[in-house]
Amino acid sequence: MSDAARWLLPSMHDHRAITDAIAGPLVEGQAGRRWWIALLASLLVAGVGAIATGISFAYGPGMWGNNSAVVWGFPIANYVWWIGIGNAGTLISALLLLTRQKWRNAINRFAEAMTILAVSIAGLFPIIHLGRPMYFYWMAPYPNTMDLWPQWRSALVWDFWAILSYLLFSLIFFYLGLIPDLATLRDRKGPRRWRRIWGAFALGWQGTPGQWRAHQRLQRTMAVIATPLVCSVHSIVGLDFAASLMPGWTESIFPPYFVVGAYFSGFAMVLLLALVIRHALGLEAMIRTAHLDACAKMLLAAGSVMLLAYGSEWLSALWTGEAADLRFLAFSFTGPYAGLTYGMILGNCLLPQLFWSPALRRSVPVLVIVALGVLVGMYFERILILCNTLSIGYEPAAWTLYVPTIVDFLILAGTAGLFVSAFLLLSRVIPLVPMYEMRELAEEARA
């Protein structure tokens, strides 16, 4: 069996079958009842989150669990968690393109879509957390009557440029890959209004050799740029912490550790989305068990690196013998947040070890449990990074525990609802699996 044939069932070795399977539901099919129920439920959750955010805007950050010691709390944990998920889509797509991995074809489109939605959501949190969100544009340099300019040494300003650049870059990367598929939708029989919209966004794509060549050159160029860009974006998030002077934060390992964490949580989300999409859109012939197996191996590798990173962090604290670091370490394992620490180790380090077994890598229930475990474990890690350090810093008089409020939880749930509803809407207007790349794979598989 050729390598290409591993990733595509023989029933999909035909260009027309691929186009019909992916474009068919978009141009001909009606959204099913399950889709509507999922959309309404996710919109409801997003709406509740919007109300909670509105309450925060009206009454201020006092509605959250943040206090004078733990000043970051849920809003920054949410930011780091979402941007981690967002970092993975473009990284996965770019890395797998550069390393010519054939299994990329089935997953890159929805992974990139995931990135755009997750980064957009992540970008909201530093603004919400400002307390005076109406002044967020002060982070951008613009001529003003106060004759002021941004403080370029501020981590907040680094985040502003990192999120803005990464979001727009990912949008261009995503759109570039989408152009040939939009032309396919434009040229198929279907609703006239939608064909006109797809046609406008296809920008007159014809599929001539010159266009394909230019397309591929730009796609590869962007993949080369994307890889260090993604690493830099999450390294900057890591520097938000590492550039400070707090116990548990002043760690040189933080930038790479954050990048691996982002890749890890993003891959878990990609795996979950792959499971949902293949089932909901009937794409089992294209997103095969072999794809799930490959994603599981990635989670196993990243989970093992996370274990190494945690071990290194703990060992460093022991090795230094610094009182504040030792206190921080003891607090992590025996303090009031210890349950979260053990949950984090279980979700991020132990559960992925199940994937040493090939049978478990192909078991859908196990994949779902591990992917959810990783996402929850990574959230615990984000909240622990903030709360452990800020609750028990250098100044004993300032030691305060952090307890999130219902508003904190509702805002977090609301972003999940927003993500799901936006993804559902996207699934009705663009192909979540790239048709032209699957056709190329089919030709190779048939050869």
**Sites of contact with other proteins (CB under 8 A):** 14-16, 18-19, 23, 141, 147-153, 157-158, 161-162, 164-166, 168-169, 172-173, 176, 180, 183-184, 186-188, 199-200, 203-218, 220-222, 224-226, 228-229, 232-233, 236, 436-437, 439-440, 443
- Minimum distance of other proteins from residue 110's CB (angstroms): 19
- Minimum distance of other proteins from residue 157's CB (angstroms): 7
- Minimum distance of other proteins from residue 322's CB (angstroms): 23
- Minimum distance of other proteins from residue 443's CB (angstroms): 5
Of 254 and 310, CB closest to other proteins: 254
Residue 190 and residue 186: Cα distance in Å, rounded?
8
Nearest Cα to Cα of residue 94 among 266, 212, 255, 332:
266
- Minimum distance of other proteins from residue 112's CB (angstroms): 13
Of 144 and 334, CB closest to other proteins: 144
Residue 403 and residue 423: Cα distance in Å, rounded?
31
Of 153 and 193, CB closest to other proteins: 153
- Minimum distance of other proteins from residue 355's CB (angstroms): 33
- Minimum distance of other proteins from residue 65's CB (angstroms): 30
Of 293 and 440, CB closest to other proteins: 440
Of 207 and 339, CB closest to other proteins: 207
Of 70 and 163, CB closest to other proteins: 163
Of 109 and 439, CB closest to other proteins: 439
